[in-house]
Amino acid sequence: MRIIITGASGFIGTNVLEYFSHRAEVINIDCVSPRNTDHLQYWKEVDINNREKVIEAFKAFSPDYIIHLAARTDLDGVSLEDYASNIEGVRNVLEAANFCPNLKKILITSSMLVCRVGYQPQNQRDYCPTTWYGKSKVQTEEIVWEHQPACDWAILRPTSMWGPWFAVPYRNFFDMIKKRMYVHIGHKSCTKTYGFIDNAVYQIERILLTDTKDPKHKVFYLGDSPATNIEDWANEIAREFGYRIIRIPYWLMKCAAYCGDLLGLLGVRFPMTSFRLKNMTTDNIINLEESYKVAPNPPVSRVDGIEKTLQWMQQN
């Protein structure tokens, strides 16, 4: 089994590559070097925005499967042009896939942010993005629908992923709890769909190796069910450090958020803004029914995931 993983230098990709490197021949197509230096042996430096280089790399490796993860994923862009990797890059990957005669399946990674937090899509192509990143991922999906690969394919929408090799925002979440800087916001705790990375890798493998040719079932969210209450999660992490998290009034956090908004206008970064406060206090429960039909038994509990993550943090 030969697998191309684009973007395997990133968080999800690092874990996907680690898993499949013990089970298949793999290559990482990425424009940046791997987070895990043990993965340098699999890395081929290619920018997915470079059409000719992508086609050349795909032809040379001739994969059985493609897991496309490469993307710009931050929220700092101010136009679609800032997210070329999520648009032209996807076109290049789909075109390059046409030069792979042994290709059995391709997974294209999108994002849950094709819909705003709290919005429940009515069908696979019902979108409601509120950020340029989310809008760019709508483009990602529409390009796939309009240029469907000849082989089997599926679209992945990761939810809020966490675990070893993560970075912002959830590495910050863990770090703040470790430093005893995290607080509960009044009684405004929210419940969201999160996903421990090992469970996401399990879901990716099952979706990759399962027939998903039914056009009515092409979109799969990656995440854990049931959804997680953020207070419960934070308390479980704090318990590992032997303390209890304090609670402060919501109005005080709202004042801090307004200060953050004003500082942002001056170009100064502040850890709390109105956008972040709303995100931290708004439920976002994703329907994982389609994913759990294909991958019904995630291997890692939240508590075990916390322990594994803290062990990794101690080593890194």
Judge whether 139 lies within some domain: yes
State whether 119 and 172 are in the same domain.
no
Query: What was the pLDDT predicted at 117?
Result: 87
State whether 12 and 138 are in the same domain.
yes
User: Helix (H, G, I), strand (E, B), or coil: what is residue 155?
Assistant: strand
- CATH number of domain containing 151: 3.40.50.720
pLDDT digits (tens, 9 = 90+) for 2-28: 999 999 999 999 999 999 999 999 999
Query: What was the pLDDT predicted at 162?
Result: 98
Average pLDDT over residues 109-136: 96
Position 272 pLDDT exceeds 90: no
Residue 162: closest CA among 222, 110, 88: 222
pLDDT digits (tens, 9 = 90+) for 150-175: 999 999 999 999 999 999 889 999 99
State whether 250 and 173 are in the same domain.
yes
Domain range for 55 is 2-158
State whether 259 and 154 are in the same domain.
no
User: What is the token pair recorded at 31?
Assistant: 């424009």
Integer-rounded Cα Rg, in Å, for the chain is 20
Count up the domains in the chain and report the number.
2
Average pLDDT over residues 110-114: 98
Position 280 pLDDT exceeds 90: no
Query: What was the pLDDT predicted at 271?
Result: 78
In the structure, what pLDDT confidence band is assigned to residue 275 with cuts at 50, 70 and 90?
Answer: confident
State whether 72 and 7 are in the same domain.
yes
- CATH number of domain containing 276: 3.90.25
State whether 244 and 183 are in the same domain.
yes
Query: What was the pLDDT predicted at 184?
Result: 95
State whether 170 and 305 are in the same domain.
yes
Judge whether 216 lies within some domain: no
pLDDT digits (tens, 9 = 90+) for 196-252: 999 999 999 999 999 999 999 999 999 999 999 999 999 999 999 999 999 999 999
Residue with tokens 């109005």: 251
Judge whether 201 lies within some domain: no
In the structure, what pLDDT confidence band is assigned to residue 189 with cuts at 50, 70 and 90?
Answer: confident
Judge whether 241 lies within some domain: yes
State whether 17 and 109 are in the same domain.
yes
% residues pLDDT > 90 (the chain)? 92
Judge whether 217 lies within some domain: no
Domain limit, last residue, from 133, 158, 183: 158
User: What is the token pair recorded at 150?
Assistant: 């000849």
Domain limit, last residue, from 158, 182, 203: 158
State whether 66 and 46 are in the same domain.
yes
In the structure, what pLDDT confidence band is assigned to residue 118 with cuts at 50, 70 and 90?
Answer: confident
Average pLDDT over residues 189-193: 94
User: Helix (H, G, I), strand (E, B), or coil: what is residue 158?
Assistant: strand
State whether 152 and 238 are in the same domain.
no
pLDDT digits (tens, 9 = 90+) for 56-83: 999 999 999 999 999 999 999 999 999 9
Judge whether 91 lies within some domain: yes
Average pLDDT over residues 291-298: 97
CA distance 57 to 223: 31
pLDDT digits (tens, 9 = 90+) for 300-316: 999 999 999 999 999 98
Judge whether 267 lies within some domain: yes
Query: What was the pLDDT predicted at 270?
Result: 86
State whether 130 and 99 are in the same domain.
yes
Judge whether 213 lies within some domain: no
- Cβ neighbours of residue 208 closer than 8 Å, sequence gap 6 or more: 65, 67, 105, 107
Residue 185: closest CA among 279, 268, 270, 113: 279
Average pLDDT over residues 85-94: 98
Position 113 pLDDT exceeds 90: yes
State whether 190 and 112 are in the same domain.
no
With beta carbons less than 8 A apart as the criterion, state whether 111 and 136 touch.
no
